[in-house]
Chains A and B, each alone.
Chain A
Amino acid sequence: MSTDSTHAGHDHHVAHHFRNAEHEYLTSKEGIWLFMVTEILMFGGLFVGYSIFHNIYPEMFAEGAKYLDWKMGFINTLVLIFSSLTMALGIYFLQKNQPKKAVVSLAITILCGAIFMVVKYFEYTHKFHLGIFPGRLLDVAKVGAEHANLGMYFGFYYCMTGLHGIHVLLGMSLITWVLFRTIRGDFNSNYYTAVEGVGIFWHIVDLIWIFLFPLLYLVG
């Protein structure tokens, strides 16, 4: 039945088990949210672990935070928030049937992701240079750590920022994918489900960083 769509003049093919494009859109959206919950719970496990050990070893965590440069985290926060804005604008322009502007917004979003990763790269290499590695690899003598298990703090630091970084890269590739599809003309105000989904994913990446920044860089 529902191979044609209620919307006039768009070329997206509605899958056979949906009634119409709107039905497909709402279902996909729910699927996306269900997936986002799993992301929150997965990252959340790390946050729970962090809270517990932060409570047990507050001084050790404070010492760890001192080795981080809050300015780097600060710049990255601003970059990510800005990229979230451009991502939202990308969808906005598609809703308004302005694909060219949408392409520009998405491209800026990818660029911001790249800047974020470059800053991250410098942060990481700087730490490696100082002998700051996670866990038992941390060079206690070289760092001059006051707490013998400072490696745990950096275990959390590298796990959380590393997993987050993987998500940034994943998000960048997803945005690149919808960027090309936008250029190809797949999306318009009637059909932009994929962009919406990728957008929600990108905002999750931002959301997690919003918490990581104060937790890792500032609290101490």
Chain B
Amino acid sequence: MTEMLAAIWRYRFFIFSSVRNDFRARFARSSLGAIWMILQPLAQVAIYALVLAQVLGSRLPGIDNKYAYVIYLTSGILAWSLFVELLSRCMTIFVDNGNLLKKVVFPRICLPLILAGSALINNLLLLLATLGVFLIVGHPIDSSVLWLLLLVPLTLAFSLGLGLILGTLNVFVRDVAQVMNVVLQLWFWLTPVVYMPTIVPMQFQQALNANPMYWIVSSYQSVLLFHTAPDAGHLTLIAVISLGLLAVALLLFRRSSAEMVDVL
């Protein structure tokens, strides 16, 4: 463990410069550059808002703003996009960097850290855009937004833990990433991002409560939309699960590392 931390410290410049290059490369060939990182999720919000606001009704209980649904949607997508970006990139992290891993020796722990770094920057930009949208629609931003300082790291840890487990398995069984792409779509619709949890029939409420992404998304929604503190029980559970996933990921990674390059 200390060895790993020492390696990270020694390669800190590489990690930093990789995140920067990741960012730079996106600016390089498109005229709008980084704007696309914000535009895509915002476009998604706009589409859902247009289509679903009519179906679901635009008013939310307890919120006196005609754009309440847009705020609800944006809060959920802020959480979901961080999760999905990290998870899908982690799943193919070793396969994508196969050539590098075969040719150059460097601490492999750098790779997920680079991913986490660039996903965080993307998410930060999206957060700024989201807050911008709130200002435009006249939704107040208060101190409860500070909860994000806890929520973002928790989402990060959860996605990274799950992603690295799947990423390691995906090196040996490439179907994992394919299957997960389908699972992720399903998962999105099983999580109350575009709809309210109240519309879920009673018999499925139990299942909904077992979805960790529901805990995360609903925490974002409480903080950003309702200005209330998130459910402490959910947060604790998420923290425990994330740590567990990260521990399993590390163990799996250690055990597999001798054979990983053989099959890349």
A and B together in one complex: no
Which A residues lie at the B interface, using CB under 8 A? Answer: none
